[in-house]
Amino acid sequence: MIWQQLQSLAGSYPLALRGLGMTVVLSLISLVLGTLLGFGLGILRTGGNRLISVAIGAWVDLIRGTPFLVQIFLIFFILPEFCIELDAFTAGIIALTNLAACFICEIVAAGIRSVPTGQVEAALASGLSRWQRMRQVVLPQAMRIVLPPLVGQYVLLIKDSSVVSAIGLTDLTRVGWLVVQRVPNGLLVFFLVGVGYFIVCYPLIMLARRLERRMGAAHGEVQL
C-alpha cells in the first residue's frame, strides 16, 4: 500500500521538479525587481518631497493592509478590464514584485532614517551632490540596518509565492495539490512539499540570523 504510493510519488518527480523550478523562478524574478523598486521607493519616501512621501506611504499601507490572495485576485481578474491582457505568470510576477517592493520600501526608509543627520550635513558641507550623498554616505551606513530584515523579507516572498497557485500557476504547492488527487496521502505529499520549501528557505533564515548578529555587533563597535 505505502510501497505503491511511494512508487507513484517517485513517478511524479519530474512534475515536482518543475514545480520547484517555477517557485524559484517566480521568487527570483520578483525578488530582483522588487528589491530595485523597493530601494527606489524607499529613497523617494525619505527624499523630502512631502506629496510623494505621503502617496508612497498610502500605497504601502494599502498593500500591507490587504491579504496577498486578494491582491492576486484583483490583479488577475481586474487588470483585464482595463484592456491589459495577463497570463497567470505575469500576474503572479506583478503581484509578488509589488508586495516585495512595498515591504522593502519601508525597510529601506527605516534604514535611511537611522543614519544620523550629521552625516548628511557633513556630506553637504563637503560639496557632494545629492546622488553622491545617497550612494557614498547614506546608503552604505543604512545597509547595516537594512540587510537583516531584507533577507528575512526574501524568505517571506518565497513563502508568499505559494499563494499564486490559487490562480493556477503550477508551483510547488500546486504540484502537491495535483499529486494528492492521485496519491491519497496528504501527510506524505505535503510533507515532501514542505521539505522542498525548507531547502530553499532555511539557508536564507540562517543567513538573516547571522547578519543580524554581525550587523548588531558591528553597530556596537562603531557607535558614534
Partner 1 sequence: MLENFSFRTIVEYLPLFGQGLVTTVWLSALSFAGALAVGIVLAAMNLQRGWLFRVPAKAYIDAVRATPLLAQLYFLYFGLPRLGFVLPELVVGILALSLNSGAYIAEIIRAGILSIPRGQVEAGVASGMTYIQRMRLVILPQAFKVTIPPLLGQAIVLVKDSALLSLISVSELTRAGQLLASDRFMPAEGFITIAAFYLLLYYGLKGLAALSGRWLGLQPARSST
- The residue type found at 160 is D
CB of 36 to partner 1, least distance (A): 21
Nearer to partner 1, 180 or 211 (CB): 180
Q: Residue 158 CA to chain centroid, in angstroms?
A: 7
21, 89 Cβ separation under 8 angstroms: no
Q: CA-CA distance, 31 to 48, in Å (whole number)?
A: 27
CB of 198 to partner 1, least distance (A): 5
- The residue type found at 206 is M
Residues 6+ apart with CB under 8 A from 25: none
- DSSP letter, residue 166: G
Nearer to partner 1, 39 or 68 (CB): 68
CB of 129 to partner 1, least distance (A): 30
Q: CA-CA distance, 64 to 61, in Å (whole number)?
A: 5
CB of 158 to partner 1, least distance (A): 8
Q: Which residues bind partner 1 (CB under 8 A)?
A: 61-62, 64-71, 73-74, 77-78, 81-83, 106-107, 110, 149, 155, 158-163, 165-166, 172-173, 176-177, 180, 184-187, 189-191, 193-194, 197-198, 201-202, 205
Q: What are phi and psi of 83, to 5 degrees?
A: 60, 30
CB of 163 to partner 1, least distance (A): 6
Map residue 1 onto helix, strand or coil: coil
Nearer to partner 1, 126 or 216 (CB): 216
Nearer to partner 1, 36 or 180 (CB): 180
Q: CA-CA distance, 208 to 150, in Å (whole number)?
A: 8
Nearer to partner 1, 97 or 173 (CB): 173
